[in-house]
């Protein structure tokens, strides 16, 4: 409250101020009248007496100001005066003002964007009540989030640390609302999902635990607000309506509130449906299989009064119970907690690491901008030293002049901050609307909030003080008599000395920072370029992916493989298509499954005895051929590897190395699956990337789809034909087979979008920062070079008149900025090489010790120096000694 009292007092003083002013005016006037009376009495005429009295009295304004200060100073009045004066001063040099405001706007804008993303992804919790106590459960040292439904039920019922544990699976269904059936993404959730989260419906009702009575007992849907808005045009009569989910009737119960978009930050589901409907939703149910860890995430609120450590200890005791009672399926059941919003430790650390790096780089940009503005201010202060000296001589205090400088700095910083914030708001709006993958409901929800505005304002003010502080020493040192006496020549002599000035240091710092940014962005770009050409274990060029889910078109049982075979045969007859094969889930497509395998000698098939956790793919014959995966040993899978044939598999080289010792030894060897099936190795293929580009080499196995059926079908079509034409041909061919089949066709390169997304984002982000860094260093060098040329024009003119060569003139004019550029670039390059290690975290194959990158940085910085000094150099060369010498 004290602040408001103070403010009220100050505002009252503001209004009283005019009264005080009037009184002061009257009193000083009275003084002058009395003096004039005396002078008149001594024989002067009245007019002359009054004139003399006024002269004797001295500067009334100055005394009034001193009185104000004696009264404790009216802060707001003097502040407003300062502001008015500063605006006048700034308006007189629009070029300087515009350059400063723009520089700062760029820097503040960059920081606001980075902070808004940081805020949205890391600092801000999920948009649910009591988000701070909401945790997801991760299992084992690998931080696995997947759980089986029976394990989930035990965890839910036996733990004592959580207020209700819920679980969900991401799922895609064919949703028929009476018009066109479309593919829709949603959550399969446990019945307690909405109740445990504490979400209230926007419309209708949610389903509850009590609605579930075993498998397929709760055919209900809850729509997300966005889906309802887009597909039902806000029709409130939608509650109670029947729709078809994969051709099964479901009832719409209600609509979720607009601000609730599930419990995963990026992924906006269209609907929620009870997990007990899994058989209808996914085509088959694994809810009774304890070894099948298909649940995507288990999460819940830790009870009030229970610490996360206590909750973990309690979960671990449930884990021990599970290991004891289900040794075949459950091992290493130790748990840890993580935040659910970024899929826990799956994305969390990567995003955090990257955002930390970005925050640091953005901070560097701001620092560079401050250094830039600081030297601009210092140069300006030098230019204005005569004005400052004059004001000091006329009785202004240094404090007042400094306050003026700071007011200018703050005004510029606020204008720059506001402009930068506006730009960032526009950019963030675009970012929020952006859907990086049209086939997934992915968003980057980064709308700025009050915190972002506050941070931008604070950054603006802090940077204003930072660069405003640069010329302080200069002003404090100003000796009015010396400056006024010396004229312009004296200042030149004072500034062109050989000593290292603050301005030089600032420029070096700024260039070093910019070189760091340029280095980082080049490292990222090179990393991306390399990762595009690295070995994935398949050849994405000249291949199309045709994604279908037979489950959502109503296929089940034996009709699935039959249809898959017909699809391969049909697409294979399209002219120009060489091999065609299919795989259940494409590698690097974001959805590969894993399971445990055992050596042939293992009898006790419990998880803790597993030889490896392998990535499992189900493929058709010819898949390797179509995918461009090379077979190192043995044979491909064939149409003869069906149900009646012995179980076989093709493994990757890593599998052979780890379990059999070598590819040659693996041939003909056996391993066991979780259900005890013995499988013979008939071939070995090259290693590949399966989940993400930066993963350590994983073990993978490929089973024939005729022995391990799957409803998921991703055809790989290799062809040299134009992708657009080919897609049309494939679409019409498949429509002839079944016109209700949902099909998604894209090139494999496009399909790699998800895997390459982090690199793409990192490259774009770092590229933008690098560009900003480059711009800042151009303006910085340009500023200094232009300034030093303009200050030394006379000297250069004299040199030319005395016969100096162009080279010597250039060296004299630009030698110093260029030397500083070289020093700064070298320092920045060194720092950049060190900093780029951080980048290796997010950008695949990012290596700063790349000669091309080093060369690129050197080239870029030289180019920047050349561009920035071009205009000043032209000016220096165009000096006409005669005109210059005549001027003074």
What span, in angstroms and rounded, lies between the C-alpha atoms of 601 and 586? Answer: 31
Nearer to other proteins, 30 or 556 (CB): 30
Closest CA relative to residue 135, chosen from 340, 312, 306: 340
SS3 of the chain: helix, strand, coil, percent, to 5: 55, 15, 30
User: Closest separation between CB of residue 60 and other proteins, Å?
Assistant: 7
What phi and psi, each to the nearest 5 degrees, are found at residue 752? -80, 0
What span, in angstroms and rounded, lies between the C-alpha atoms of 308 and 313? Answer: 9
End-to-end CA distance of the chain: 62
What phi and psi, each to the nearest 5 degrees, are found at residue 670? -120, 150
Q: Where are the alpha helices (DSSP H) in 840-877?
A: 851-877
Nearer to other proteins, 78 or 733 (CB): 78
Q: Based on the number of CB atoms within 10 Å of its own CB, is 103 exposed (0-12), middle (13-18) or buried (19 or more)?
A: buried
User: Closest separation between CB of residue 447 and other proteins, Å?
Assistant: 51
Nearer to other proteins, 63 or 437 (CB): 63
Nearer to other proteins, 33 or 234 (CB): 33
What phi and psi, each to the nearest 5 degrees, are found at residue 435? -120, 100
Nearer to other proteins, 67 or 827 (CB): 67
DSSP secondary structure code for residue 483 in this structure? H
Nearer to other proteins, 30 or 874 (CB): 30
User: Closest separation between CB of residue 77 and other proteins, Å?
Assistant: 15
User: Closest separation between CB of residue 406 and other proteins, Å?
Assistant: 24
3-state SS class at 145: coil
Sign of CA dihedral 710, 556, 754, 169: negative
Q: Based on the number of CB atoms within 10 Å of its own CB, is 309 exposed (0-12), middle (13-18) or buried (19 or more)?
A: exposed
User: Closest separation between CB of residue 357 and other proteins, Å?
Assistant: 56
Cβ atoms 97, 90 nearer than 8 A: yes
User: Closest separation between CB of residue 812 and other proteins, Å?
Assistant: 49
User: Closest separation between CB of residue 485 and other proteins, Å?
Assistant: 22
Contacts with other proteins, residue ranges (CB under 8 A): 23-24, 26-28, 30-31, 33-35, 37, 56-60, 62-63, 66-67, 69-72
Tell me how many degrees the CA angle 117-118-121 measures, rounded to the nearest 5: 80
User: Closest separation between CB of residue 488 and other proteins, Å?
Assistant: 32
User: Closest separation between CB of residue 400 and other proteins, Å?
Assistant: 15
User: Closest separation between CB of residue 401 and other proteins, Å?
Assistant: 20
Nearer to other proteins, 38 or 387 (CB): 38
How would you label 78-90 residue by residue, b for 16+ Cβ within 10 Å and e otherwise? eeebbeeebeebb
Place of tokens 């090259």: 686
**Tokens at residue 619, please?**
């493929």
User: Closest separation between CB of residue 20 and other proteins, Å?
Assistant: 9
CA atoms within 13 A on the CB side of 660: 23
Nearer to other proteins, 35 or 794 (CB): 35
Cβ atoms 728, 645 nearer than 8 A: no
User: Closest separation between CB of residue 62 and other proteins, Å?
Assistant: 7
Cβ atoms 236, 281 nearer than 8 A: no
What span, in angstroms and rounded, lies between the C-alpha atoms of 285 and 762? Answer: 39
Sorted by sequence, the CB contacts under 8 Å of residue 590 that are 6+ apart come out as 754, 755
Place of tokens 């034909």: 721
* Cα–chain center distance at 569: 44
Nearer to other proteins, 249 or 395 (CB): 395
Tell me how many degrees the CA angle 807-810-811 measures, rounded to the nearest 5: 85
Tell me how many degrees the CA angle 359-364-367 measures, rounded to the nearest 5: 130
DSSP secondary structure code for residue 697 in this structure? P
**Tokens at residue 44, please?**
């002067």
User: Closest separation between CB of residue 371 and other proteins, Å?
Assistant: 41
Nearer to other proteins, 59 or 129 (CB): 59
3-state SS class at 33: helix
Other beta carbons within 10 angstroms of residue 235's beta carbon come to 12
Sorted by sequence, the CB contacts under 8 Å of residue 97 that are 6+ apart come out as 90, 91, 412
User: Closest separation between CB of residue 787 and other proteins, Å?
Assistant: 41
User: Closest separation between CB of residue 75 and other proteins, Å?
Assistant: 16
User: Closest separation between CB of residue 2 and other proteins, Å?
Assistant: 21
Q: Write down how long the chain is.
A: 888
What span, in angstroms and rounded, lies between the C-alpha atoms of 702 and 455? Answer: 52
CA atoms within 13 A on the CB side of 634: 25
Nearest-10 Cα torsion for 331, 336, 340, 345: -80
DSSP secondary structure code for residue 295 in this structure? B
Nearer to other proteins, 71 or 834 (CB): 71
User: Closest separation between CB of residue 21 and other proteins, Å?
Assistant: 12
Other beta carbons within 10 angstroms of residue 742's beta carbon come to 16
User: Closest separation between CB of residue 131 and other proteins, Å?
Assistant: 54
């Amino acid at each position: 409250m004290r602040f408001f009292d103070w403010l009220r007092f100050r505002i009252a003083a503001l209004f009283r101020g005019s009264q005080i002013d009037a009184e002061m005016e009257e009193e000083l006037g009275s003084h002058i009248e009395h003096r004039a009376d005396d002078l008149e009495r001594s024989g002067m005429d009245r007019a002359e007496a009054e004139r003399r009295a006024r002269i004797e009295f001295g500067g009334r304004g100055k005394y009034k100001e001193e009185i104000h200060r004696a009264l404790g100073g009216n802060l707001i009045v003097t502040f407003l005066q300062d502001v008015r004066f500063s605006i006048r001063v700034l308006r007189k040099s629009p070029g300087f003002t515009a350059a400063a405001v723009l520089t700062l706007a760029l820097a503040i804008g960059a920081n606001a964007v980075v902070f808004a993303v940081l805020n949205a992804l890391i600092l801000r919790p999920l948009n649910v009540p009591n988000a701070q106590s909401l945790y997801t459960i991760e299992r084992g040292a690998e931080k696995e989030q997947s759980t089986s439904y029976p394990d989930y039920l035990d965890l839910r019922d036996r733990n004592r640390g959580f207020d209700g544990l819920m679980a969900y699976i991401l799922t895609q269904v064919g949703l028929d609302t009476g018009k066109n059936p479309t593919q829709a993404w949603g959550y399969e959730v446990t019945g307690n999902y909405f109740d445990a989260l504490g979400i209230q419906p926007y419309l209708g009702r949610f389903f509850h635990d009590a609605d579930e009575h075993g498998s397929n007992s709760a055919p209900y849907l809850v729509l997300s607000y966005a889906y309802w808005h887009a597909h039902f045009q806000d029709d409130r009569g939608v509650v109670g309506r029947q729709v078809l989910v994969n051709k099964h009737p479901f009832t719409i119960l209600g609509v979720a509130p607009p601000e609730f978009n599930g419990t995963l930050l990026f992924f906006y589901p269209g609907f929620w449906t009870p997990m007990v409907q899994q058989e209808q939703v996914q085509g088959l149910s694994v809810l009774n299989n304890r070894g099948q860890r298909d649940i995507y995430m288990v999460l819940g609120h830790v009870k009030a009064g229970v610490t996360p450590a206590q909750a973990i200890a309690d979960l671990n005791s449930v884990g021990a119970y599970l290991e004891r009672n289900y040794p075949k399926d459950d091992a290493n059941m130790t748990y840890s907690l993580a935040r659910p919003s970024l899929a826990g430790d799956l994305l969390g650390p990567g995003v955090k690491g990257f955002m930390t790096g970005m925050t640091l780089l953005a901070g560097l940009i701001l620092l560079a901008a401050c250094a830039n503005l600081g030297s601009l201010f210092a140069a300006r202060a030098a230019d204005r030293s005569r004005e400052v000296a004059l004001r000091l001589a006329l009785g202004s205090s240094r404090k007042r002049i400094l306050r003026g400088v700071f007011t200018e700095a703050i005004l510029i910083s606020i204008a720059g901050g506001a402009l930068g914030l506006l730009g960032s708001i526009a950019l963030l709006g675009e970012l929020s609307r952006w859907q990086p993958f049209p086939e997934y409901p992915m968003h980057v929800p980064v709308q700025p909030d009050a915190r972002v505005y506050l941070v931008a304002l604070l950054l603006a003010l802090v940077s204003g003080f930072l660069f405003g502080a640069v010329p302080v020493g200069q002003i404090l040192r100003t000796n009015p008599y010396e400056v006024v006496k010396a004229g312009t020549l004296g200042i030149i002599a004072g500034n062109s000395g050989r000593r290292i000035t603050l301005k030089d240091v600032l420029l070096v710092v700024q260039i070093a920072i910019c070189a760091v940014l340029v280095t980082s962005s080049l490292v990222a770009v090179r990393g991306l370029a390399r990762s595009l050409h690295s070995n994935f274990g398949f050849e994405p060029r000249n291949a199309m992916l045709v994604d279908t889910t037979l489950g959502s078109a109503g296929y089940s049982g034996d009709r699935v493989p039959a249809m898959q075979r017909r699809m391969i045969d049909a697409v294979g007859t399209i002219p120009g298509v060489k091999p065609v094969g299919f795989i259940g889930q494409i590698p690097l497509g974001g959805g590969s499954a894993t399971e445990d395998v055992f050596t042939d000698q293992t009898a006790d098939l419990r998880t803790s005895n597993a030889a490896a956790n392998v990535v499992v793919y189900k493929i058709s014959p010819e898949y390797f051929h179509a995918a461009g995966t090379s077979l190192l040993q043995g044979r491909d899978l064939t149409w003869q590897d069906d149900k009646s044939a012995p179980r076989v598999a093709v493994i990757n080289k890593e599998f052979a190395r780890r379990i059999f010792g070598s590819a040659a030894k693996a041939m003909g060897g056996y391993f066991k699956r979780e259900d005890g099936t013995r499988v013979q190795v008939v071939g070995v293929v090259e290693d590949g990337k399966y989940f993400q580009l930066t993963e350590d080499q994983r073990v993978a196995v490929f089973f024939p789809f005729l022995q391990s059926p799957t409803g998921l079908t991703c055809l790989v079509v290799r062809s040299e034909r134009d992708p657009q034409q080919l897609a049309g041909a494939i679409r019409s061919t498949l429509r002839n087979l079944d016109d209700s089949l949902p099909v998604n066709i894209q090139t494999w390169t496009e399909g790699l979008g998800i895997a390459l997304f982090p690199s793409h984002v990192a490259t774009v982000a770092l590229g933008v920062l690098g560009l900003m860094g480059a711009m800042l260093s151009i303006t910085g060098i340009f500023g200094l070079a232009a300034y030093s040329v303009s200050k030394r024009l006379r000297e250069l003119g004299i040199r030319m008149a005395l016969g100096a060569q162009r080279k010597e003139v250039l060296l004299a004019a630009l030698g110093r900025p260029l030397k500083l550029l070289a020093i700064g670039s070298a320092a920045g390059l060194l720092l950049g090489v060190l900093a780029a290690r951080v980048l290796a975290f997010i950008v695949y194959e990012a290596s700063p010790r790349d000669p091309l990158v080093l060369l690129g940085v050197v080239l870029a910085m030289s180019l920047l120096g050349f561009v920035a000094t071009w205009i000043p150099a032209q000016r220096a060369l165009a000096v006409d000694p005669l005109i210059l010498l005549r001027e003074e």
